[in-house]
Structure 1
Amino acid sequence: MTITTRKAGLSGLAIFGVAALLSGCASAPESGGGSTGGADGALDYLPCMVSDAGGFDDKSFNQLGYEGMVKAADELGVEYKKVQSDAETDYAPNLTNLVDQGCNTIVTVGFALAAAAGESAAANPDIEYVSIDDVVDQDFDGKTDQPNIKPIIFDTAQAAFLAGYAAADFSKTGVVGTFGGMNFPTVSIFMDGFAQGVQYYNTAKGKDVKVLGWDTAAQDGSFTGGFEANDGARQIAQGLIDQNVDVLLPVGGPIYQSAAAAIRDSGKEIALIGVDADVFETDPSVGDLLLTSIRKAIDVGTYDAILAAGNGEFDATPFVGTLENEGVGLASFHDFESKVNPSLQGELDEIKAGIIDGSIPVTSYLAG
């Protein structure tokens, strides 16, 4: 799947957001969990999950999705299966593997699995699918392609807007930066919301904090070309550091680890912003660098979907995480609590309320 393909789908996603939402050698599956379904009156239900290439220990959205499934399976008293994808070529065979294992609900983690998920769902209409981070609209008609797919997606721009405002307020150099894995909508939504928040700060405070790594007008920016914590990601982070940024937002699973390494090597006072999870909690090794994290409640959304499906109440209605329903949010400042301006949290609370009531507009492919 190319960047061009995904960017071409942006208009379809926007229609979906306004019209519908607001109204390979694959790995063998791993089992876990509680009671075996069907025995002694136990629930006859098997939830399963396929990761993207980031893996289940990415300290980010794969891990959050997995934790949500495990919690639901434990509560239901059933086993679960998970299979990790190490490359794009693993997606389809991994899904076939889980279908053959008798899974009742299959969760696909990440937009990269959308095409494979859509094909698998079409071929297996009796199996329920949960798609994290993609509406699975491969024909771009504004609707999920199959009726047995439940999308769990997030208007992350709202929380990223708050992070951008906080970054601009914290910055001493007047330059903040961001970069992503690939220019997919679910990545760029962070970067664009972040830039909008910085601009809002500049307008409100009469400042001129610059954003490097994202061009709002062009809807393009700095990308590593993948989602691995590698030397390429580190070089992009270093390039931004060399341009005097003192707050850095990497968007793309584990690529934040490369950014953290570049920050430590620089010897400069540079704050990191995490994404998806509260990275302060999921990866304490970078906790001292974290200003905050832009959170997506992937674990909660997955838990709710699996719990409902296990109880025979699967609902394909898309879940859209927002500030209002707490599907997205900003983590606390943790170790930076004493370093930020005392007035900042109060200002963020007011902005959050404005975003929720619509008086402060935040644009995204989900909100228009």
Structure 2
Amino acid sequence: MSSLRHRLARKSLLGVAAVGASALVLAGCGAPPPSGGSSGGTSAANSSYLGCMVSDSGGFDDKSFNQSGYEGLQQAVKDLGIQEKHVQSKADTDYDPNLRSMVQAGCKLTVTVGFLLGDATKNIATANPNSHFAIIDYSDPSFPKNVKPIVYDTAQAAFLAGYLAAGVSKSGKVATFGGLNIPTVTIFMDGFADGVKYYNQKKGKSVQLLGWDKDKQDGVFVGDFKSIDKGKVLTQGFLQQGADIVLPVAGPVGAGAGSAILEAKAAGTNAKLIWVDSDGYLTAPDYKSILLTSVQKTMATAVESVIKDDTQGKFDAKPYVGTLANGGVALAPYHDLDSSVPSDLKSEIDQLKKDITSGTVKVSSKSSPVSGS
């Protein structure tokens, strides 16, 4: 375990340093080119193109992170007429062999899904300079020129979610927990914490956040992205402490939080869930009745865009940075719980989005690829 913690801490420092450096030259990154149906000629030209993807240990059916990325690959098949191949990792030790198998299969571009694949992606890409790679949620200045990072300033959208949660909470307590203490998780928690704090400042309130201390960068974590039962137990603990809105940043472990809140609702407690990465209303429909919103990364759009560029000979290593301004991150609709959000709060959140986009309101996280912009 000490070796694992050391490895994750080293990755965390690399990732944060990399995206921080990238921000100096990439703050102006725009939205990916719009995707759409391609002509028959384009489809025919791409018929021999093989686009590939390797998941992290959460798997492609995680209803969140990996699933959203894979939807981008599927959309590229539909729109661009490419062929696809994907492989699901069951453990960290699968990353290198799975990536190697993609190269051996003749993949033109392989997308790796997640921070934890950073080292494996760099190693395999360095050994195979004629193959192209893209990695979601990780950037490293030592990446070779055949790797394109796809990163997101999710703190911006999570800030909106924190403000929303504080405004909707009846108990005056909200909570969050993560899978692992790594930058791509804590960036959500930082933004959420600051959104709650901003609400308190604006309204003269004292809504309390359980599960994360931004100043100390310390909080509650499952320890992985698999232990759904532990996610349920953690959520039950938050509910017992009085929290009535919970944000799990733990991929499929979010299902454990959803289960705990559904049970609490059945017992008469009016608690709510906020999903991450994808719009949980669509990807985790079992929790529709308790889902307040989701902090989204539009990963499918970015993945398809990178693949499209590669099919057209336009691949480059410049990171794509998703923000509120370019639509790379977003706060999902309130769906069935729309009536639980007061109209004035909706208006405040709409304005807050504009203020963040314009820079009037600054959202910062040490894990943010465009911190302070």
- Name the TM-score, length of structure 2 as normaliser: 0.90
For 1:8, the equivalent position in structure 2 comes to 13
Structure-2 separation of matches of 1:41 and 1:201:
53
| Aligned-residue offset at 1:255 | 1.1
Maintained 8 Å contact 1:229/1:257: no
| Aligned-residue offset at 1:174 | 0.2
| Aligned-residue offset at 1:144 | 4.9
| Structure 2: tracts of 5 or more residues without a match | 29-42
Secondary structure of the corresponding residue to residue 226 of structure 1 = coil
Q: Which has the larger displacement, 161-170 or 260-269?
A: 260-269
Secondary structure of the corresponding residue to residue 254 of structure 1 = helix
Give the RMSD, CA atoms, in angstroms.
1.7
Aligned residues: percent identity?
A: 46
Whether 1:78 aligns to 2:98 is no
For 1:118, the equivalent position in structure 2 comes to 122
| Pair 41,367 (structure 1): closer, same or farther in 2 beyond 3 Å | closer
Maintained 8 Å contact 1:229/1:256: no
Structure-2 separation of matches of 1:90 and 1:257:
24
For 2:262, the equivalent position in structure 1 comes to 264
Matching residue within 182, 187, 190 for 2:188: 190
Maintained 8 Å contact 1:73/1:307: no
Matching residue within 216, 219, 222 for 2:220: 222
| Aligned-residue offset at 1:146 | 1.0
| Pair 355,42 (structure 1): closer, same or farther in 2 beyond 3 Å | closer
Whether 1:367 aligns to 2:370 is yes
Structure-2 separation of matches of 1:217 and 1:78:
46
Matching residue within 247, 250, 270 for 2:248: 250
Maintained 8 Å contact 1:42/1:77: yes
Matches within 5 A, 1:55-94: 55-94=59-98
| Aligned-residue offset at 1:367 | 2.9
For 2:31, the equivalent position in structure 1 comes to none
* Cα deviation digits, residues 106-131 of structure 1 (max 9, x gap): 00001110100000110001111010
Structure-2 separation of matches of 1:14 and 1:282:
29
Aligned residues: 348
For 1:34, the equivalent position in structure 2 comes to none
Structure-1 separation of matches of 2:334 and 2:315:
37
Matches within 5 A, 1:134-145: 134-135=138-139, 137=140, 143-145=141-143
Structure-1 separation of matches of 2:111 and 2:96:
13
For 1:26, the equivalent position in structure 2 comes to none
* Cα deviation digits, residues 293-344 of structure 1 (max 9, x gap): 0010000000100111122221221110000001001001111111111111
* Cα deviation digits, residues 40-65 of structure 1 (max 9, x gap): 86543111000001100111111111
| Aligned-residue offset at 1:10 | 5.4
Matches within 5 A, 1:11-30: 11-22=16-27
| Pair 67,167 (structure 1): closer, same or farther in 2 beyond 3 Å | same
Matches within 5 A, 1:314-333: 314-333=315-334
For 2:107, the equivalent position in structure 1 comes to 103
| Aligned-residue offset at 1:230 | 2.4
For 2:284, the equivalent position in structure 1 comes to 283
* Cα deviation digits, residues 167-218 of structure 1 (max 9, x gap): 0000000000000000110000001100000000000000000000000110
Q: Which has the larger displacement, 155-164 or 12-21?
A: 12-21
- Name the TM-score, length of structure 1 as normaliser: 0.91
Q: Which has the larger displacement, 46-55 or 231-240?
A: 231-240
Give, as a single letter, the amino acid of the residue that structure 1 aligns with 2:348: E
| Aligned-residue offset at 1:165 | 0.2
Maintained 8 Å contact 2:126/2:144: yes
* Cα deviation digits, residues 67-102 of structure 1 (max 9, x gap): 101111222222110000000000000011111111
| Structure 1: tracts of 5 or more residues without a match | 24-38, 138-142
Secondary structure of the corresponding residue to residue 124 of structure 2 = helix
Maintained 8 Å contact 2:248/2:254: yes
For 2:304, the equivalent position in structure 1 comes to 303
| Aligned-residue offset at 1:263 | 1.4
| Aligned-residue offset at 1:229 | 4.2
